[in-house]
Chain A
Amino acid sequence: KQEVTQIPAALSVPEGENLVLNCSFTDSAIYNLQWFRQDPGKGLTSLLLIQSSQREQTSGRLNASLDKSSGRSTLYIAASQPGDSATYLCAVSPPELSFGAGTTVTVRA
Chain B
Amino acid sequence: NAGVMQNPRHLVRRRGQEARLRCSPMKGHSHVYWYRQLPEEGLKFMVYLQKENIIDESGMPKERFSAEFPKEGPSILRIQQVVRGDSAAYFCASSPPASGGPTTGELFFGEGSRLTVL
Contact = CB atoms under 8 A, between A and B. Distances in A.
Interface of A: 31-32, 34, 36, 41-46, 49, 89, 91, 93-102
A101 B42 contact: yes
Contacts of B118: none
Contact of A96 (B45, B106, B108, B112): B45
Contacts of B95: 95
Interface in B72-102: 91, 93, 95, 102
B42 A99 contact: yes
Given A43-B91, A44-B91, A99 B106 contact: no
B105 A93 contact: yes
Interface in B23-57: 31, 33, 35, 41-45, 48, 56
Interface residues of B, number: 26
Nearest to A45: B109
A34 B45 CA distance: 15
B43 A89 contact: yes
B106 A46 contact: yes
